[in-house]
Structure formats: structure tokens, C-alpha cells
């Protein structure tokens, strides 16, 4: 007898052992199988719903091609405007700081005065 | 028949073998039942709409991975529990496992001669399979019991086809040696 035939003989005997499982083991396996089936049903339904939503979106885009292109153009325009604004604001950073400094309550020289001695004694030019 | 019913029908055909495979691997019926249940739930969750011809391979991959996960969890658990139980009881040898305690009781309604002849050799075979190294047992059961070809077995085990052949050959030789005294040798 070769290896394969011997192995086949062994597994035939193992097959016989499958019919001798205790009833509680069989019941537990059956219950696990039912739970798996219910879960598969649920997941299968979820997949179907997701793919239906996906198909609905694709269908809408096909039906309203001009509208979709228009929306995309508006979106691109908005992004371009936002980018242009942010880049132009970057140049005015120093001006903003200067303006904030000049409109503050303290004069500029007060910031240069170490302990504000000159400014508080009234010798400040400002 | 919808996808969920197809899956259920497939599982009904393989659940007993899966349970036995898990028992041979972990030597614990409750652990084996948990493993099979986990594998079924994972299959249902990840592949609820898988084609029927892909289910056996997918299920076996999930089952073998779940068995490995169980081993890892046991290893971590034993790392913490074993030293404590050793200090608590002082009896180190009590954790030794007797594979024969999982051999099933025979059906008393069956033909007594058939039961005696078959169950005796079945118990010996089951005991011998439990004693095989993990990879050899896995290869033997997938290749011969699950009737997978070498390529499918290699895919499930995550190794080369050459390794599968080597594991199978070694497993059969080891089983033949263990069962030699029972008159089941192929030599």
C-alpha cells in the first residue's frame, strides 16, 4: 500500500467518527451555523444597499451631465478664488502688524523704552 | 437559493469536519466549538456573497488562522496563569493532557462488532493525529481529509507546494509508525 492509499484509508475511518459527535456538540454547531447565516443575510443586504446607492449616484450623474459639469466648474472656481485670496493676504501680513501697532494705546517709543521710565516721567517725545 | 442560504448549506456540510480539525489541533472541545463558530461568523461577515466554489478554500483559511489565533491567546494566557497556578497548587504535572479523554462514546444502538472494530482503530487514529506536529497535522488533514490539491493546501497553509508535500509525507510516515502496532501500517 502506498502513502496516498494509506492516508485515504485513515481518513475514511475519520469520516466514520463524524457521525458519532455528541448531540450537544451537533446542536452548538447548528446554532453557530444559523447565526452565521443570519449575519450573512444582513451583510448581503447591506452590500446590496450600498451598491444601490452607488448606482443611484452614477445614474444621477449620467442624467444630469450638464449640471454636474457646471457644479464641478463652480467648485473649481471657488477653490481658485480661495487660493488667490489666501496668496494675496500673505503679502499684507507686515502691513497688518504695523497697523495693529500704530492703532494701539502705547506709542511706538514706549516699546523701545526699557522700563517705560522716560515715557512715564513725561520726557517722551510722543 | 440566495447567498446566505448557500453559505448555510455549505457550512452544514463542513462543520463537523471543521470541529474535528479544531479538536485535533487544540485538544479541547469547548475551545474547538468556539473556533468553528468564530470561523463561521468571520466567513459570513467578510464573504457573505462569495461564489460557492470559493467557499471551501476561504473557510479553511479562516479556520486555520482562527486556530493559530487561539494558540497565540492560549500562549499569552498560559504565560501569566501557569506560574500563578504553580505557586498556588504546587502540582506542575496536572496540566498534562490526555488525548483519550476526547474520544467520543460509541453509539450503543449500532452493531457491537462493528463498533468495537471501528471505534478502536478510530480512537487510535485520532490519538495519533493529535500527536502529530501542528504543520504536519494541518497538511495531512487539508490534503487528504479535505481533499484539497497541493496548491490549495499550500495557499491555506501559507507555504510552498514543496513544503506541503514534505509535511504530508512526514505525517503519513509518522502515523504509520504510531499505528504500526495496531495493524494499520502501509509497509
C-alpha B56/C-alpha A101 separation (Å) is 76
| C-alpha cell, B26 | 487544540
Name which of B24, B43, B42, B23 is nearest B33 in CA terms.
B23
Residue of A nearest to B20 (CA): A18
Task: Give the mean model confidence (pLDDT) for residues B12-38.
Answer: 93
Residue B146: DSSP 8-state: S
Return the pLDDT at A93. Answer: 59
Return the pLDDT at A68. Answer: 84
CA atoms within 13 A on the CB side of B70: 23
Return the pLDDT at A100. Answer: 63
Mean pLDDT of chain B: 81
B74/B117 same-domain check? no
Q: Which residues in chain A have Cβ-Cβ distances shorter than 8 Å to B37?
A: 28, 32, 35-36
Q: Is the pLDDT of residue A97 over 80?
A: no
Return the pLDDT at A45. Answer: 83
Q: Give domain status of residue B100, yes or no.
A: no
Residue-number span of the structural domain to which B21 is assigned = 1-89
Return the pLDDT at A56. Answer: 77
Q: Is the pLDDT of residue B132 over 90?
A: yes
Q: Is the pLDDT of residue A114 over 90?
A: no
pLDDT tens digits along B35-68: 999 999 999 999 988 898 999 999 999 999 999 9
Chain-chain contact of A47 with B121 (C-beta, under 8 angstroms): no
B121/B78 same-domain check? no
Q: Give CA separation, A71 vs A55, A74, A84, in Å.
A: 20, 5, 20
Q: Which residues in chain A have Cβ-Cβ distances shorter than 8 Å to B118?
A: 13, 16
Q: Which residues in chain B have Cβ-Cβ distances shorter than 8 Å to A13?
A: 118, 121-122, 125
Q: Give domain status of residue B134, yes or no.
A: yes
- Cα pseudo-dihedral B120, B124, B127, B132, rounded to 10: -160
**Range B120-147 burial, b when 16+ CB lie within 10 A, else e:** ebbbbbbbbbbebeebbbbbbbbbbbbe
C-alpha A124/C-alpha B118 separation (Å) is 113
Residue of A nearest to B38 (CA): A32
CB-based contacts of B26, cutoff 8 Å, min separation 6 = B32, B35, B67, B70, B71, B74
| C-alpha cell, A85 | 485670496
Give me the number of domains chain B comprises.
2
Return the pLDDT at B30. Answer: 93
B2/B61 same-domain check? yes
pLDDT tens digits along A27-71: 999 999 999 999 999 988 887 777 777 777 787 777 788 888 889
Return the pLDDT at B8. Answer: 92
Return the pLDDT at A44. Answer: 83
Q: Are the CB atoms for B4 and A44 separated by under 8 Å?
A: yes
Return the pLDDT at A106. Answer: 66
B3/B80 same-domain check? yes
CA angle B73, B144, B42 (to 5 degrees): 40
pLDDT tens digits along B80-101: 776 666 665 544 444 444 444 4
B85/B131 same-domain check? no
| C-alpha cell, A9 | 484509508
Chain-chain contact of B33 with A11 (C-beta, under 8 angstroms): no
* Nearest residue, CB atoms, A3 vs list B20, B48, B169: B169
Name which of B69, B182, B44 is nearest B122 in CA terms.
B182
Angle between helices A3-18 and B112-131 (to 10 degrees): 120
Distance from CA of B91 to the nearest CA of A (A): 32
Q: Give domain status of residue B175, yes or no.
A: yes
Q: Give CA separation, B18 vs B24, B141, B177, in Å.
A: 10, 10, 26
B25/B69 same-domain check? yes
B116/B168 same-domain check? yes
Mean pLDDT of chain A: 80
C-alpha A20: how far from chain center:
52
Q: Is the pLDDT of residue B185 over 80?
A: no
B70/B8 same-domain check? yes
B39/B114 same-domain check? no
Q: Is the pLDDT of residue B184 over 50?
A: yes
Per-domain residue ranges of chain A: 3-64, 93-126
Pick B77 or A103 by higher pLDDT: B77
Q: Give domain status of residue B46, yes or no.
A: yes
What is the reported pTM? 0.63
Q: Is the pLDDT of residue B116 over 80?
A: no
B115/B67 same-domain check? no
| C-alpha cell, A108 | 511706538
Name which of A21, A11, A5, A6 is nearest B145 in CA terms.
A11
> Which of A100-114, B25-39, B57-71, B153-167 is predicted with the least confidence, judged by mean pLDDT?
A100-114
**CB neighbours (10 Å) of residue B51?**
10
CATH number at residue B113: 1.10.10.10
**CB neighbours (10 Å) of residue B118?**
17
Task: Give the mean model confidence (pLDDT) for residues B96-114.
Answer: 42
C-alpha B22/C-alpha B69 separation (Å) is 12
Q: Is the pLDDT of residue B103 over 60?
A: no
Task: Give the mean model confidence (pLDDT) for residues B121-139.
Answer: 91
Chain-chain contact of A34 with B33 (C-beta, under 8 angstroms): no
Q: Give domain status of residue B98, yes or no.
A: no
Return the pLDDT at B92. Answer: 45
B1/B83 same-domain check? yes
Amino acid at each position: 500500500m502506498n502513502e496516498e492509499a494509506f492516508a485515504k484509508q485513515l481518513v475514511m475511518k475519520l469520516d466514520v467518527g463524524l457521525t458519532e459527535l455528541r448531540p450537544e456538540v451537533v446542536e452548538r454547531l447548528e446554532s453557530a451555523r444559523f447565526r452565521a447565516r443570519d449575519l450573512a443575510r444582513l451583510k448581503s443586504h447591506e452590500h446590496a444597499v450600498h451598491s444601490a446607492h452607488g448606482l443611484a449616484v452614477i445614474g444621477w450623474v449620467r442624467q444630469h451631465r450638464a449640471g454636474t459639469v457646471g457644479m464641478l466648474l463652480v467648485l473649481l472656481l471657488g477653490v481658485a478664488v480661495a487660493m488667490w485670496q489666501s496668496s494675496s493676504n500673505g503679502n499684507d501680513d507686515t502691513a497688518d502688524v504695523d497697523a495693529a501697532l500704530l492703532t494701539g494705546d502705547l506709542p511706538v517709543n514706549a516699546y523701545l523704552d526699557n522700563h517705560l521710565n522716560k515715557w512715564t516721567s513725561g520726557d517722551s517725545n510722543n | 437559493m440566495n447567498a446566505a442560504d448557500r453559505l448555510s448549506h455549505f457550512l452544514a456540510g463542513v462543520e463537523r469536519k471543521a470541529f474535528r480539525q479544531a479538536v485535533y489541533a487544540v485538544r479541547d472541545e469547548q475551545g474547538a466549538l468556539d473556533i468553528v463558530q468564530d470561523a463561521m461568523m468571520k466567513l459570513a461577515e467578510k464573504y457573505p456573497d462569495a461564489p460557492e466554489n470559493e467557499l471551501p478554500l476561504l473557510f479553511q483559511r479562516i479556520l486555520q488562522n482562527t486556530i493559530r489565533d487561539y494558540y497565540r491567546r492560549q500562549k499569552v494566557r498560559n504565560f501569566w496563569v501557569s506560574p500563578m497556578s504553580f505557586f498556588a497548587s504546587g502540582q506542575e504535572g496536572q496540566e498534562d493532557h490526555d488525548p483519550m479523554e476526547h474520544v467520543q462514546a460509541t453509539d450503543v444502538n449500532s452493531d457491537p462488532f462493528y463498533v468495537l472494530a471501528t471505534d478502536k482503530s478510530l480512537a487510535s487514529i485520532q490519538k495519533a493525529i493529535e500527536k502529530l506536529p501542528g504543520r504536519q497535522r494541518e497538511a495531512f488533514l487539508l490534503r487528504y481529509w479535505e481533499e484539497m490539491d497541493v496548491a490549495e493546501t499550500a495557499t491555506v497553509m501559507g507555504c510552498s507546494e514543496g513544503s506541503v508535500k514534505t509535511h504530508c509525507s512526514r505525517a503519513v510516515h509518522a502515523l504509520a509508525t504510531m499505528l504500526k502496532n495496531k495493524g494499520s501500517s502501509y509497509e
